[in-house]
Amino acid sequence: MSNSKSDELKHEIDGLEKAMHDADQFRTLEEQVADMKRRGIDPSQAYKDLDRKEEDEDWGDDTWKENGKWEPKTPADL
């Protein structure tokens, strides 16, 4: 096998290996839920907690919470 052909095949194999590794990093929601259940975590409660945390972060400062003057954050606030 010539050097260029060998290099081409090595490059292709490296690309396929990277693609397989990248694909292994992501799991479907169904797989994530099954994993959480296997570890004894209630998925519905965990996702509710995440949603609640995002809402709390979007409230602004404590004065707004106390006075009920909720305003969503804008890019200018960041």
Q: Give the model's pLDDT for residue 71.
A: 64
CB contact at 8 A, 47 and 41: no
Residue 73 lies in a domain: no
Residue 24: inside a domain, yes or no?
yes
User: Distance of CA 58 to CAs 35, 40, 53, 66, 67, Å?
Assistant: 29, 30, 9, 14, 15
- Quote the pLDDT of residue 30: 85
Q: What is the pLDDT of residue 28?
A: 79
pLDDT the model gives residue 62: 62
Per-residue model confidence as pLDDT tens digits over 6-65: 889 899 988 888 887 776 666 778 888 888 888 898 888 888 888 788 776 665 556 566
Structural domains counted in the chain: 1
Residue 15 is predicted with a pLDDT of 86
Structure letter (DSSP) for residue 61: S
In a domain, 8, yes or no: yes
Contact 73, 58 (CB under 8 A): yes
Which pLDDT does position 66 carry in this prediction? 65
Q: Which two tokens stand for residue 25?
A: 């990093």
